Structure 1
Amino acid sequence: MSVRNLEHLFAPKSVALIGASERPGSLGATLLHNLLAGGYQGQVWPVNPKYETLAGRTCYAGVAELPGAPDLAVICTPPATIPAIVRQLGEAGTRAAVVLSSGVDARSGRGRSLRQQMLDAAHPYLLRLLGPNSAGLLTPGRGLNASVAASSALPGRIAFVSQSGALMSGVLDWARMRGIGFSHFIALGDSADVDLGDVLDYLASDGGTSAILLYVQDLRYARKFMSAARAAARSKPVLVLKAGREEDGTPAAASESGALAGSDDVFDAAIRRAGMLRVTTTEQLFSAAETLAYARPLHGERLAIVSNGAGPGVLARDALAYGKGVEAAFSAATNEKLDALLAPGWRRGNVVNLRNAASPELYRQTLELLLQDPGVDAVLAIQSPTATVASRDVADAIAPLVKTASKTLLSCWLGGEAVREARAIASGARLPAFRTPEDAVAGFLQLVQYRRNQNLLMEVPPSMAGTVAPDRAAARALVREAIAAKRYLLSDPETKSILRTYGLAVVETRSASTIDEAVAASERIGYPVAVKILTPDVMHKSDFGGVTLDLDSPEAVRAAAQRMRRRLEELFPQAKFEGYSVQAMARSTHAHELIVGAALDPVFGPVIVFGQGGVAVEVTDDHSVGLPPLNLVLARDLVDRTRVARLLAGYRGRPAVNMDALLASLVQVSRMVSDIPEIVELDLNPLLADSRGAVVLDARMRLALADRSGSTLDRLAIRPYPRELEETIDWNGGPLLLRPIRPEDGPAHLAFFDALTPDDVRYRMFVRIRELQPSQLARFTQIDYDREMAFIATRKNSAGVAETLAVGRVVADPDNITAEFAVTVRSDLKGMGLGKIMMQKLIDYCRSRGTREIVGEALPQNSRITGMVRKLGFTVRTKDEEGMREMRLVLR
């Protein structure tokens, strides 16, 4: 991932057009016209040996003849010429280019593709390439239109990034008609170099961009995308329109989890995990961007509706119910005030009908009242044009509420020409304005979903105390043994042996090669038992009588085993017979049959599946998908997104399931899949859950040789907790654990912050802060281990509770050139060497990652930190007039 030199791509001071032309309809002519017509104030240099002048400007024969090195080169020449042009540009000092030419994947006589030759030519000069096959880019605020778009773009604060160049002209025209402007409009093309992750990183820190819109067709580098997306979504709204929702003929999975985890479900899970919002149409994309930019952050999901007629209000309420939204419930005090304000006989309820002749003042008073109600989180005002009240007057009355309200206010203006001015007034006041009640409710529900996704990104999970520590060595040994014997599809007993190493509760199960062994196993387990035939070639054994339950005697076991062996031979003569599985009968009148599993997505790697289980799992199609690693918050979200979740909470005298046990099972499966790269599919179906706990009845696992070409962690879209960085040292007469911070460290981190003196807080934050906000706590404890690292020094106190004594944090830029550090020691432990220990830990970590330098800043009063880092080899200098100290250590 890299943002290096992207400023030359998106904010160039000069542009060279290689392949400029005057031939009507040609790529070179279109680009030259767009560059000159957009109002770009920088230098534009046409390049083509066929012309001396173009559009009244000097045309240069080649790169060598240019008056200087252009910041940006736009290339539209034949594919075979591109590698040489890129090399010439690099030698001249150009650091960014857009390649619009297609056909660059063709191979030359030397064997390497033109694409690879182009990349090889750019690499020595760090020249960044957008494309090939790109439709170009626009930066309207600078007047830059280096694209083939048929129309220009209005300046604005929305960045649009598209993997489709064909979409560019249509979207630009559509946006111009609606007055929507852009900070950047970028067509990625084939993304040979600059890709979606790079652009997200650049736009996340771009001060001129307030929202990022993505049109995505496919992803190749899930880890890079997820890191960039999570970072961007923490700073501004990121909305995604994904093409290709239908499955594309992916090979059939060998497990139920693999069949359930469709690629679109996995993409949805990734978007949620990154804190972004997915929409389904282009219009929704821009509508949601405006709504998120204008609306106040939601603190709840309860919507109140105000309308000047019953019909529009009821339509809005129906849309809210259909979208599973939540109606606001007004307090008694609010209802009493509404009684005094509205006409006699108004019907109390979520929809406040102001009647046809509602005045602007009545609208304003009603909205003010509802916005103050503690049972209301957002209000939708609907106005239909009438002969007696001008819609623009209503807009003038309610638009100022946006500035004073602490809650979200939305508006809907029904009609066309009659409400055009009202809609413009609302938009001008940053009041989201919709055309229909259904659109308005859809916009509100987008806010709700965005809030949920952001909460997943920010919420601090509870501790996993009490969860069994996995025996990873034992699990890996069992997997290695199976693979050595070329057993890639593990039986139920074999799978359960691995599950036990991760603390998952399983029904006692024994394998038997013969009928006599099955009877002996039944005697050891104790009757009644269930007997199942073992064969790797039939997924659903119950379909042919391969499962028999409640066997209560040796004779019953023997007869059932003979019968199912005979049925297997009759119906599946080619199937391999491997024996029988004998297990204790699990008794629970109130248990729910669930499925917990894992599958391997070709882009995002391992995914976790949860849902309603049993023999009808694919028919009920009630499941959700999540990306590992999971914590308790993410596991709970995985459960809550299924229909069966409502049943798990208990109903009609049926007790709720032990949710702690169920969530722990999900987390442990996530850990197992993250730890063991050979696991490619896993089914726990059914997993029985009731008020006592969760136990696995049937299990199936598929293994594959792990890819040894790189780190086993690379298969995961999100890097899990780096356990290998843990280190125990002797300090102050006892052991001290140095380890990366975890999301579950939130409570201990809060206690650590509370133990700091006001001066120490100011030295760390540069401002005085009394307490950490939840979003700050999440930001400190939920880190992307690919991007940053925070080490804590921790030990247990006299009460046996782990406490945080010091924190060392380092955040590297996307190119891993410079990393910023901060070290904080609990105020009562200063002067005991903890600061130096944490700083050395950071230095060693950055060296191992190949970081070029570590830098930091300190207030002039913080002499303790500057003195310490000087001893470690840092240079310290005064940075500005206020005396701020800059600390720097060059590592390579």
Structure 2
Amino acid sequence: MDSEETQASDAGRATGGLSGLFDPDRVAVVGATESEGSIGRAIVDNLVADFAGETVPVNPNYDDVLGLDCYPDIESVPGELNLAVVVVPPSIAVEAVEQCGEAGVRNVVVITAGFGETGSEGASRERELTAVAEEYDLNLVGPNSLGVMSTPVGLNATFGPENALSGSISFMSQSGAFITAVLDWANDQGIGFKDVVSLGNKAVLDETDFVEAWAEDPDTDVILGYLEGVENGAEFIDAAREATEDTPIVMVKSGRTEAGAQAVSSHTGTLAGSEQAYEAGLEQAGVLRVENVQELFDFAQILSGQPLPDSDDVAIVTNAGGPGVMTTDAVGDSALSLASFSEETLDALSGAMPDEANIYNPIDAIGDADVDRFAEALDLALADDNVGSAVVLSAPTAVIDFDDLAEVITDLQAEHGKPIASVLMGGERTDSAREILREGGIPNYFDPARAVGSLDAMVRYRNVRDREYEAPERFDVDRERAREILERADERGDNRLGVEAMDLLDAYGIPTPDGTIAETPEDAVEAAQGIDGEVVMKIVSPDILHKSDIGGVRVGVPNEDVYDAFEDLVTRARNYQPDAEILGVQVQEMVDLDAGTETIIGMNRDPQFGPLLLFGLGGIFVEILEDTETRVAPVSEREATEMVDGIRSAPLLRGARGRDPADREAIVESLQRLSQLVTDFPAILELDVNPLVAGPDGVDAVDVRLTVDREEL
């Protein structure tokens, strides 16, 4: 079955918006209780504390809970309910959700654990839950969720210890514990949120749904996420690409290491896809991926509070030489550049600064600089057309009042409309200044590297927002011929193919040398006579994929030796593996490897993101150098070009050390055609073309091997 015969599955996912989840008028807590230390009590407490709407306890064992009328079941509640929070034992949770559906409650948060994260019995229960949600078209969060928050209406439908501060950041996390820790820290830092969602097991709603919802939310300026896995990589890429046209997305993806990936599976039941697939998929989606929580919120604060820079050039204004040098080094380590001031700016700085000051970037106003000197230097720097952003850095001195300096920074940022990262280095004496800056949308950092990193993130997002999405090209190919080749393999009972699948590449327009598969020595001689010059001969067997390891390849065979070479190759194969199926010997045109560069193009099908394309140096170098680029298919011409230009060895392809440059356009087109092939046929699980010899006048796919899922054919 190929991609045209397969439709994307949205099983269990409700359609429509999620406004009722975040802006309810009435919330039912199914499993509400007054028992101290219970989750049902904590959720009611949190709702009663701040929620602008009505909280409705549901529990057959109570007449009232915390002074609120309590109902025996959801059907007994009069009037419309927008949201139900289910916190009952797992044995009755599915039934409780079904009752919500029957009562017309469309938004449900399942706090209850004991589902897919606990084993086969829990996984079965989760499938039942998903089926109920699909039947009643529910927006369902969880199960195994901490809950949801939305600050505009004071909604805290979680069992966390505190509510979020109000802000414009919307945050989702696959770990509830991560949310409680982040909120505690964020409240201390004065960082606010719009919506917060604990995804839990993602039985119905997942990260893609919330990216789509928050992208349309005018009150969400930045989308943050902590993910352990992505349910459907292709859908996520499409949703994130559209969202990042206006709203930046910043995410931490855990499970980067093999040990981390195993921990992910045991924690949430999520099967982690390969790290390469996530790296490629998130980059193609326009997501800014970060390594830790500090970066997550560093980037969020500056992206939510300030305009994007028009250029990559940054000015540094400081009163401290050492930290100024640290900041300069950080700029050098980033994608930013130090701005070169205009002659007009330098003349103005020269007149405004003392003789001992450095007027070139970084501007060092020296240690006796007061707020007025800082203000003049920063004003002149921001007024320079060569400056896209600025870092203002001050060590504490007797002549600097941080509160006054914060006011100046805030005013000048608003006046010039260019982003500023502040580095007021100190402890308690910076507290009120940081609050002034925060109100102006300007984050303050103790470490200059964090300030530079945040400005760098703004440039990265600007580049994401400005890049135009290019739809993958569809080439005219012989799809039916390709299908027949794959089906013949299925008829033989093979799931691994070698050079016998060369025609598959030819059907999709990937150049291959002239050649054929001979079943007898006589056929081999006849095939060789139709090829100019000496030939290459390779044993053809689905059971022997590493042909050269057994002497199953002969290079440079003259016509008079073809008959004997055929018999020798077959004998070697029989001696190596007596039960191997021998389909024949491939007789192939010689390709001058020295006249080109051996590259590899390939694909591995990732469980979350689908076909992951690879490009790099081929032959023996692919495993030694590990110099490769990956993208999730299908890829556009731009993305394929980025793959070719992105490897460290790209200068070899451009003609380094006197070599003729490779035909880059031919490599790029071959990647695009391979992308189309593996997208058209999901049955192809992995495929390597190695080597793809890239010469000055084109490419040749010299060898191929692939694995197929016969059940998909």
Query: TM-score, normalised to structure 2's length?
Result: 0.86
Question: Deviation digits for residues 437-464 of structure 1, max 9, x if unmatched?
Answer: 22122223323333343344x3457x97
Q: Pairwise mapping of residues 487-636 of structure 1 onto structure 2 (< 5 A)? A: 487-492=494-499, 494-513=500-519, 521-543=527-549, 545-549=551-555, 551=556, 553-554=558-559, 577-587=582-592, 591-636=596-641
* 8 Å Cα contact 1:247/1:263 also seen in 2: no
* 8 Å Cα contact 2:273/2:607 also seen in 1: no
How far 1:89 moved relative to its partner?
3.3
How far 1:596 moved relative to its partner?
1.2
* 8 Å Cα contact 2:282/2:288 also seen in 1: yes
Aligned counterparts of 2:348 and 2:526: Cα–Cα separation in 1: 78
What is aligned with 2:447? 436
Aligned counterparts of 1:71 and 1:83: Cα–Cα separation in 2: 19
How far 1:327 moved relative to its partner?
4.5
Q: Pairwise mapping of residues 777-816 of structure 1 onto structure 2 (< 5 A)? A: none
SS in 1 for 2:172: strand
* 8 Å Cα contact 2:534/2:559 also seen in 1: no
Structure 2 unaligned blocks of 5 or more: 1-12, 263-271
What is aligned with 1:98? 109
Q: Does 1:472 align with 2:479?
A: yes
What is aligned with 2:410? 399
What is aligned with 2:293? 282
Question: Deviation digits for residues 178-206 of structure 1, max 9, x if unmatched?
Answer: 11111111112222333333333222222
Q: Pairwise mapping of residues 426-465 of structure 1 onto structure 2 (< 5 A)? A: 426-456=437-467, 458-459=468-469
Aligned counterparts of 1:329 and 1:681: Cα–Cα separation in 2: 50
Distance 1:696 1:348, change over 3 A: farther
Question: Does 567-576 or 588-597 show the bigger shift?
Answer: 567-576
How far 1:216 moved relative to its partner?
1.4
Q: Pairwise mapping of residues 701-720 of structure 1 onto structure 2 (< 5 A)? A: 701-705=706-710, 707=712
Question: Does 236-245 or 469-478 show the bigger shift?
Answer: 469-478
Aligned counterparts of 1:112 and 1:409: Cα–Cα separation in 2: 49
How far 1:301 moved relative to its partner?
3.3
* 8 Å Cα contact 2:599/2:691 also seen in 1: yes
Q: Does 1:56 align with 2:67?
A: yes
Question: Does 378-387 or 540-549 show the bigger shift?
Answer: 540-549
Distance 1:88 1:481, change over 3 A: closer
Number of residue pairs the alignment of both structures matches: 690
What is aligned with 1:662? 667
Aligned sequence identity (%): 34
Distance 1:644 1:143, change over 3 A: same
What is the aligned counterpart of 1:201 among 183, 194, 212?
A: 212
* 8 Å Cα contact 1:385/1:419 also seen in 2: no
Question: Deviation digits for residues 107-128 of structure 1, max 9, x if unmatched?
Answer: 9xx9995445545555555443
Aligned counterparts of 1:365 and 1:688: Cα–Cα separation in 2: 60
* 8 Å Cα contact 2:614/2:630 also seen in 1: yes
Aligned counterparts of 1:586 and 1:573: Cα–Cα separation in 2: 31
Distance 1:706 1:305, change over 3 A: farther
How far 1:138 moved relative to its partner?
1.4
What is aligned with 1:170? 181
What is aligned with 2:492? 485
Question: Does 623-632 or 589-598 show the bigger shift?
Answer: 589-598
CA-based RMSD of the aligned residues comes to 3.6
Aligned counterparts of 1:593 and 1:451: Cα–Cα separation in 2: 36
* 8 Å Cα contact 1:276/1:454 also seen in 2: no
* 8 Å Cα contact 1:247/1:262 also seen in 2: no
How far 1:214 moved relative to its partner?
1.6
Q: Pairwise mapping of residues 242-257 of structure 1 onto structure 2 (< 5 A)? A: 242-247=253-258
Q: Pairwise mapping of residues 600-749 of structure 1 onto structure 2 (< 5 A)? A: 600-651=605-656, 653-654=658-659, 656-705=661-710, 707=712
Question: Deviation digits for residues 607-637 of structure 1, max 9, x if unmatched?
Answer: 2112222212123122222122222122223
How far 1:52 moved relative to its partner?
2.7
* 8 Å Cα contact 1:658/1:692 also seen in 2: yes
SS in 1 for 2:454: helix
Question: Deviation digits for residues 213-270 of structure 1, max 9, x if unmatched?
Answer: 122122333344334333332331122221211247999xxxxxxxxx9711111222
What is aligned with 2:7? none
* 8 Å Cα contact 1:295/1:432 also seen in 2: no
How far 1:600 moved relative to its partner?
0.8
Q: Pairwise mapping of residues 240-389 of structure 1 onto structure 2 (< 5 A)? A: 240-247=251-258, 263-323=274-334, 325-330=336-341, 351-373=362-384, 375-389=386-400
Aligned counterparts of 1:573 and 1:695: Cα–Cα separation in 2: 32
**Which amino acid letter does the alignment assign opposite residue 315 of structure 1?**
M
**Which amino acid letter does the alignment assign opposite residue 686 of structure 2?**
E
Structure with the greater relative contact order (CA < 8 A, sep ≥ 6): 1 or 2?
Answer: 2
* 8 Å Cα contact 1:535/1:576 also seen in 2: yes
Distance 1:299 1:593, change over 3 A: farther
What is aligned with 2:265? none
Aligned counterparts of 1:294 and 1:196: Cα–Cα separation in 2: 24
**Which amino acid letter does the alignment assign opposite residue 88 of structure 2?**
T
Distance 1:378 1:529, change over 3 A: farther
Aligned counterparts of 1:582 and 1:283: Cα–Cα separation in 2: 59
Aligned counterparts of 2:132 and 2:403: Cα–Cα separation in 1: 60
SS in 1 for 2:113: coil
Distance 1:310 1:51, change over 3 A: same
How far 1:518 moved relative to its partner?
5.0
**Which amino acid letter does the alignment assign opposite residue 232 of structure 2?**
Y
Aligned counterparts of 1:445 and 1:365: Cα–Cα separation in 2: 25
Q: Does 1:85 align with 2:85?
A: no
**Which amino acid letter does the alignment assign opposite residue 621 of structure 1?**
E
How far 1:601 moved relative to its partner?
0.9
What is the aligned counterpart of 1:12 among 4, 24, 28?
A: 24
* 8 Å Cα contact 2:14/2:134 also seen in 1: no
Question: Deviation digits for residues 322-377 of structure 1, max 9, x if unmatched?
Answer: 44654445556655655555555877875444433344344444444444555544
Distance 1:60 1:476, change over 3 A: closer
**Which amino acid letter does the alignment assign opposite residue 602 of structure 1?**
P
Aligned counterparts of 2:439 and 2:52: Cα–Cα separation in 1: 29
- Name the structure where helix makes up a greater proportion of residues: 2
**Which amino acid letter does the alignment assign opposite residue 148 of structure 1?**
F
Question: Deviation digits for residues 29-75 of structure 1, max 9, x if unmatched?
Answer: 222222222x2122222222323332223333333443434322222
What is the aligned counterpart of 2:86 among 75, 87, 105?
A: 75
* 8 Å Cα contact 1:5/1:127 also seen in 2: no
Aligned counterparts of 2:34 and 2:711: Cα–Cα separation in 1: 56
Question: Deviation digits for residues 540-594 of structure 1, max 9, x if unmatched?
Answer: 4445555454x26357767877776676667667765554444334347573322
Question: Deviation digits for residues 74-133 of structure 1, max 9, x if unmatched?
Answer: 2212223334433443443333222212235699xx999544554555555544332222
**Which amino acid letter does the alignment assign opposite residue 44 of structure 1?**
T
SS in 2 for 1:681: strand
Aligned counterparts of 2:355 and 2:542: Cα–Cα separation in 1: 73
Distance 1:331 1:506, change over 3 A: farther
